[in-house]
Amino acid sequence: MSNAPRLIDPFARAITYLRVSVTDRCDFRCVYCMAEHMTFLPKKELLTLEELDRMCSTFIGLGVEKLRITGGEPLVRRGIMTFFDAMSRHLDSGALKELTVTTNGSQLDRFASDLYAAGVRRINVSLDTLDAAKFQRVTRWGRLEQVLSGIDAARNAGLRVKINTVALKGFNEDELFALTEWCAREDMDLTFIEVMPMGDLGNEDRVGQYWSLDDLRADLATRYTLTDLAERTGGPARYVRLNETGQKIGFITPLTHNFCESCNRVRMTCTGDLFMCLGQEDNASLRDIMRAHPEDDAPLIRAIEAAIARKPEGHDFDYSRQKPDGQVSRHMSHTGG
């Protein structure tokens, strides 16, 4: 299969990056991602590991060069290393340039070495606080010690670790410099993310949680000299370098600064629904098409191409009117983080 880009959206953007949720399940219940008492999907609705292989291989044949595996928590999916091992053949062929993972870190003690062996070289670990009590509060079920141990295991296995921190007003504002200095000491990159209006989480106050990264950046600038970088890693982050430490800090700003003009990515859920935009409800159901044609990828390819032809110019997230406008009903754990 040729990996020349074949997926071009209506705004002339080549789609070369696929984020795939392999499960909606997670061993945490982070307050901005899941309700505490979730109802998870029945197993029959999820793509099997073999179907995930076929689906991702089809996208790679259409020019996708970067594959990020997400969840839920991807490493709680039973047998998931079978899938990673299968994807390594596309790295070996050169069709796939990068295979990466976003994880909460809880399972890295078990899987870090196996991920490296499968060709993963870089992972993102979601971590919003270095305070154990606050960590348990924001994750509901998580243990900070387990995650820090997993990060150590990942680095010892040779994986480059980037920390993803959701900026939450009134929660981790006071840890801005502690998180920054910790990542500098440990030689890990750090990206801050604005909280997004995803899912109906009951009493969670999206507007109250929102901490503009413009404000966060201004706070950083009181202690460090920030130099803007032209560097991009295929995702939505914009980067700066802190001159005093030499470290790289990323900002993902779906609300403060819409990053849609350069969007090169789509997301596929664990049920085979393709979302062309994180902040829009339009999607294409690919699972049933694939299952209806077990020996023929042509109908699946046509469905993918038709979906990309509907990719919107951008999302509509907006907190400026003190309510989470543009909110989508599905949980982040279903779409894939």
Binding site per annotation, positions for S-adenosyl-L-methionine:
32, 72, 126, 196
Annotated binding site: 19, 26, 30, 32-33, 68, 72, 102, 126, 162, 196, 260, 263, 265-267, 277
DSSP state at residue 41: P
Q: How far apart are CA 188 and CA 247, in angstroms?
A: 8
Q: How far apart are CA 323 and CA 97, in angstroms?
A: 40
Annotated binding site for [4Fe-4S] cluster: 26, 30, 33, 260, 263, 277
3-state SS class at 288: helix
3-state SS class at 316: coil
For residue 100, list its beta bridge partners.
Answer: 68
DSSP state at residue 318: B
Q: How far apart are CA 126 and CA 200, in angstroms?
A: 21
Annotated binding site for GTP: 19, 68, 102, 162, 265-267
Q: Which residues neighbour 58 within 8 Å (Cβ) at sequence distance 6 or greater?
A: 297, 300, 301, 304
Q: Is the dihedral of CA 24, 27, 32, 35 positive or negative?
A: positive
Identify which of 196, 200, 141, 140 has the alpha carbon closest to the alpha carbon of residue 164: 196
